[in-house]
Amino acid sequence: MYSCSYRRRMCVRFATFAVALLAGIDPAPAQVYPERPVRLVLPFPPGGGTDSMARLIAPKLGQALGQPIVIDNRPGAAGVLAAEIVARSAPDGYTLFMGSSTGVTAAPSLYKLPYDTARDFAPITQFATASFMLAVHPSVAAASVGELVALARAKPRSLNYASGGIGSPLHLAAELFKHRAGVDIVHVAYKGGVPAATAVLAGEAQMIFGSFAASLAHVRAGRLRALAGTGLERSALMPELPTMIESGFPGFHVQAWSSFEAPARTPPAIVRRLYEETAKVVRMPDVVALMSKIGYLPADTTPQQYAHIRRTEMALWAKLIKDANIRGE
């Protein structure tokens, strides 16, 4: 037989648990999270700009959380390998994924994935963004986006654009431009953004949607001619350059970005804490300075805001990929 005092204790515990559930409170509150190191899985190899940004953010985020953030680089398969590791992990906040714009939003329409991005990942935050620059070789007789469109329409398939490969941000930005402008320009894919930019500098291709960080010095030296930026607002790196929206393309807003994702069903309180601490870290001066060097700006979108961005861009790229008959490599 159980004693009266035991039954009373159990009743109190059950009542407390029931009240917490009815109030929408996680009975295992986020205050106890984390109790051990957190694993951050990256779909990039060590040494690149995005990896460097992660390695600057991770120790600061770990300090804020009270446990180290351990970086696990898992490049390959267009980011699918790293994403699958996280999608199949326990939803407890101890395994996170660092996503990239097209890797998160375009990959579902380009490849047959072993996971469902919308279903299997809980969005935490989009913490860094970078717009692109539409630039042409100086030999191209166009000083504005309007003039480039007129030239492309007058001479279909006479212009080539370089990209960093099928499904890369440079590729999708240019395909969106083709679709919105109604022009026929030829895609030349290279193995990365650097070879693509080199090809335009050499005149092998005539145009590119390149990063501001990689393109700006060439523009200043006269080796490239900048026509427009792809952000909602003009870039602080080149405030004289109009946006694509200002150049006659309403709604043309294309960015590269980095995000943090958790496995689906991760407790909302844990997701919220990860967002709040990340938002503080990306505003630190040394983090902002490093982001600026590689052409990024800090962002602090809430989980709800990021979920909307992710959903919107997945729909945008799905339609474009279908309409342009783009196939993943």
The Cα 249–Cα 145 span in angstroms is: 9
Which of these, 34, 46, 42, 44, lies nearest to 90 by C-alpha position?
A: 34
4 pLDDT above the threshold of 50: no
The Cα 142–Cα 241 span in angstroms is: 15
Q: Quick one: pLDDT at residue 31? A: 60
The two structure tokens encoding residue 315? 């729909």
DSSP 8-class letter at 122: E
Residue range 5-25: mean pLDDT, rounded: 43
Domains of the chain: 33-129+255-323 (3.40.190.150), 131-229 (3.40.190.10)
The two structure tokens encoding residue 210? 């390149």
Going by pLDDT thresholds of 50, 70 and 90, the confidence category of residue 19 is very low
How would you label 304-329 residue by residue, b for 16+ Cβ within 10 Å and e otherwise?
eebbebbeebbebbeebbeeeebeee
Query: What is the Cβ-side half-sphere exposure of residue 118, based on CA atoms within 13 angstroms?
Result: 12
Encode pLDDT of 74-102 as tens digits. 998 888 999 999 999 999 999 999 999 99
The Cα 29–Cα 23 span in angstroms is: 13
**Location of structure tokens 């446990």:** 67
Q: Quick one: pLDDT at residue 328? A: 82
Encode pLDDT of 154-178 as tens digits. 999 999 999 999 999 999 999 999 9
One-letter amino acid identity for 175? E
The Cα 123–Cα 308 span in angstroms is: 10
Q: Quick one: pLDDT at residue 324? A: 93
214 pLDDT above the threshold of 90: no
Encode pLDDT of 23-80 as tens digits. 444 444 446 899 999 999 999 999 888 899 999 999 999 999 999 999 999 998 888 9
Q: How do 207-211 and 160-163 pair as beta strands? A: parallel
The Cα 97–Cα 121 span in angstroms is: 9
Average model confidence (pLDDT) for the chain?
90
Encode pLDDT of 247-265 as tens digits. 999 999 999 999 999 999 9
**Is residue 103 within 8 Å of residue 43, measured between CB atoms?**
yes
Residue range 276-291: mean pLDDT, rounded: 96
Going by pLDDT thresholds of 50, 70 and 90, the confidence category of residue 7 is very low
The Cα 118–Cα 309 span in angstroms is: 12
DSSP 8-class letter at 68: P
Which of these, 264, 266, 265, 272, lies nearest to 300 by C-alpha position?
A: 272
